[in-house]
Amino acid sequence: MTTQTQSPVNRRQLLTAGASAALVATFAADLFAAEDHSGHHANHGNQHRSVVAAARECATEAINCLSHCLMQFQSGDTSLAVCATRVTELIPLAQALTQLASMNSPLLAKLASVCVEACKSCETECRKHADKHAACKACADACAACIKACQPLV
C-alpha cells in the first residue's frame, strides 16, 4: 500500500489561482458580450452601448485592482484587504451588467441598481488608496463612469 503525501497549498498559490480564475471569467464574459449577432437582431443591445462599455471597463479595472491587491498581499501588505473585498463583490456584477445590457434584458434596471450600489462602495474604498496605487485610482474612475452610465436606468 502506498501513501500519498500531499503538499499543503500555500497562501500565494491560493491567491494566484483566485486571480487567474477571475481573469478567465472576465475574458469569457467579454467574448460572450462582444459576439456579433447583428445578422439576427439588427438593434439587439444597441440601446445600451454606453452601459455595456462602462460595465466592461469597470469589470476590467476591478480585476486589475484585485490583481494589484493580491500582489500586495503576497508581499505581506494587507492594507488593501477591504479594497480587495469590494472589487471581488463588484466583478461578477459588472460582468453580468455587461451581458444584460447587451441583451437589452428586462432585468437590466434591477441589476443596474445593484451594480450602482456596488460601484459606489468600491469607488469609496478605492479612492482611499488612489494617491498611492494607480490600480485603485483606475478602478475608482471606472466605477464612477459606470455609475454615470447606469443613472438613466435606475
Q: How far apart are CA 65 and CA 88, in angstroms?
A: 10
Q: What is the pLDDT of residue 34?
A: 46
* 90-120 exposure pattern, b = at least 16 Cβ within 10 A, e = fewer: bbbbbbbbbbbbbbebeebeebbeebbebbe
Give the amino acid at 34: A
Per-residue model confidence (pLDDT) at position 63: 97
CB 103 within 8 A of CB 51: no
Q: Which helix (H) or strand (E) holds 136?
A: helix 134-150
Locate all alpha helices (DSSP H) within the chain, ordered by sequence: 11-34, 49-74, 81-103, 108-127, 134-150
Return the pLDDT at 84. Answer: 97
In which residue ranges of the chain is pLDDT below 70? 1-45
Q: What is the pLDDT of residue 37?
A: 42
The values of phi and psi at residue 40, to 5°, are: -90, -50
The pTM for the full model equals 0.73
The full set of domains in the chain, from first to last, is 14-29+45-153 (1.20.1270.360)
pLDDT of residue 43: 44
pLDDT of residue 66: 97
d(CA 58, CA 31): 16
Q: How many CA atoms lie within 13 A of 139 on its CB side?
A: 37
The per-residue pLDDT for 11 is 53
